[in-house]
Amino acid sequence: MDSSIPSPLAAMTSSEPSRVAVIGASGYGGLQTLRLLLGHPRFDVTFLGGERSAGQRWSSVCPFLPLPDDPQVQSADPDRVAEAADYAVLSLPNGLACQLAPRLLERGVRVIDLSADFRYRSLEQWNQVYAQEAARLNRTDADLCRDAVYGLPEWHGPAIAEASLVAAPGCFPTASLLPLLPFLKQGLIDTDGIIIDAKTGTSGGGRVPKEAMLLAEASESIAPYGVVGHRHTSEIEQLAQEVAGQSVQLQFTPHLVPMVRGLLSTVYARLRDPGLTAEDCTTVLEAVYRHHPCVQVMPVGTYPATKWVRHTNRAMLSVQVDTRTGQLILMSAIDNLIKGQAGQGIQCLNLMAGLEPETGLPLQAFYP
């Protein structure tokens, strides 16, 4: 192999850590990515990019996370990123990554995008779902959308390993799809009437101040939002349909919970075979995830709390069956900023670099 051609296997054999640029470093996604990479055995952060914080010393942005030599945050100039890094993790608001990613890819930088810009294979669908962003962008990168790999590592591992551009799914799709896909794939549940009642901590709303995310407003309260037609509905359905091989229609309702981190998805679906027990269904999940260390299937009757996975890259799944009603109840807990965002990005990065997917990722919570 010509050594000038970048290879997914290079990192594995080389003794040098790979170089990673983190773009959008002062937001929560970027901050988590940075924090996780600081403890990673095979990656070095070699470029810190930001927009609002460009030009500032890192210590003035995040006094609590000291970095060696206190680097300046830089604006994300593609040439400079390409010079400094082999990989770039983009943690930017929707509508920005699609402007930066092509220019990084051209320069040979492999990209993990944590935004929604490349999560749809069809640009047309993205334009519909993200109509507001689409209106001011007029994107022409339909090819890139089609080629980007959806970065759910437990389901798209080999494609991620080869990919130049990975669109890491967000917190709601991750938590909802992990327990649901095995049952769709095996045709064990009805593909309509699926209900996803999801609950998230407020850090999912990002670090830019919004009234609804103030402690004074959000604490001591729970409320639904985005009821009917939330953007993640179509993202979840897209994946569900690919795996089910048929049309899937589901109801997705997010709720805001008074906590910083954590996301719980409670999924309701009708079993096609009313004879299936909770134990049977647990076995279905175990069979799929046995060799996936970032997914843990709990024994029947043990229901996951988001605290159990806080600060980890682990999803905890549990199944219950109501034989009286024929309902399957799937419960899935993740840390929205790690397995639901930054950790997932690094899990993809690990695969791209030929490493074990869980390399450098925390899997055990500090309780309580």
Under rule CB under 8 A, residue 249 binds a copy of itself? yes
Under rule CB under 8 A, residue 231 binds a copy of itself? no
φ/ψ region of 195 (left if φ > 0, alpha if ψ in -120 to 50, else beta) reads: beta
Under rule CB under 8 A, residue 325 binds a copy of itself? yes
- Per CB under 8 A, the segment of 116-124, 126-134, 155-163, 192-200 that binds a copy of itself is 192-200
CA atoms of 368 and 362, how far apart (whole Å)? 16
Restricting to residues 280-299, name those near a copy of itself by CB under 8 A: 296, 298-299
Under rule CB under 8 A, residue 72 binds a copy of itself? no
Restricting to residues 163-182, name those near a copy of itself by CB under 8 A: none
* 348 included as an active-site residue: no
The candidate with the shortest Cα–Cα distance to 173, out of 260, 98, 114, 99, is: 114
Set 171, 281, 294, 348: catalytic member: 171
Within 13 Å of residue 313, how many CA atoms lie on the same side as its CB? 25
Under rule CB under 8 A, residue 31 binds a copy of itself? yes
Under rule CB under 8 A, residue 51 binds a copy of itself? no
CA atoms of 136 and 309, how far apart (whole Å)? 38
Under rule CB under 8 A, residue 62 binds a copy of itself? yes
Nearer to a copy of itself, 232 or 261 (CB): 261
Q: Which of 214, 245, 273, 356 binds a copy of itself (CB under 8 A)?
A: 214
Under rule CB under 8 A, residue 199 binds a copy of itself? yes
CB 355: neighbour CB atoms within 10 A? 22
For residue 44, report the phi and psi dihedrals to the nearest 5 degrees.
-115, 135
Nearer to a copy of itself, 82 or 276 (CB): 276
How many of the chain's residues bind a copy of itself (CB under 8 A)? 84
Q: How far is the CB of 305 from a copy of itself (least distance, A)?
A: 4
CA angle 126, 132, 138 (to 5 degrees): 65
**For helices 231-244 and 171-185, what crossing angle results, to 10°?**
30
CB 38: neighbour CB atoms within 10 A? 14
Under rule CB under 8 A, residue 224 binds a copy of itself? yes
Residue 33 is inside which H or E element, if any? helix 28-38
Residue 109 burial by CB count (10 A; 0-12/13-18/19+): exposed, middle or buried? buried
- Per CB under 8 A, the segment of 56-64, 81-89, 110-118, 157-165 that binds a copy of itself is 56-64
CA atoms of 230 and 275, how far apart (whole Å)? 34
Q: How far is the CB of 227 from a copy of itself (least distance, A)?
A: 5
Under rule CB under 8 A, residue 136 binds a copy of itself? no
For residue 5, report the phi and psi dihedrals to the nearest 5 degrees.
-85, 125
Nearer to a copy of itself, 102 or 258 (CB): 258
Nearer to a copy of itself, 332 or 350 (CB): 332
Q: How far is the CB of 260 from a copy of itself (least distance, A)?
A: 5
The candidate with the shortest Cα–Cα distance to 114, out of 32, 6, 196, is: 32
Nearer to a copy of itself, 191 or 350 (CB): 191
Q: How far is the CB of 56 from a copy of itself (least distance, A)?
A: 14
Under rule CB under 8 A, residue 272 binds a copy of itself? no
Which residue's entry shows tokens 């930066």?
A: 100
Nearer to a copy of itself, 73 or 144 (CB): 73
Output the DSSP codes for 309-355.
Answer: GTTSS-EEEEEEEETTTTEEEEEEEE-TTIIIIIHHHHHHHHHHTTS
Nearer to a copy of itself, 23 or 269 (CB): 269
Where in the sequence numbering do the catalytic residues fall?
171
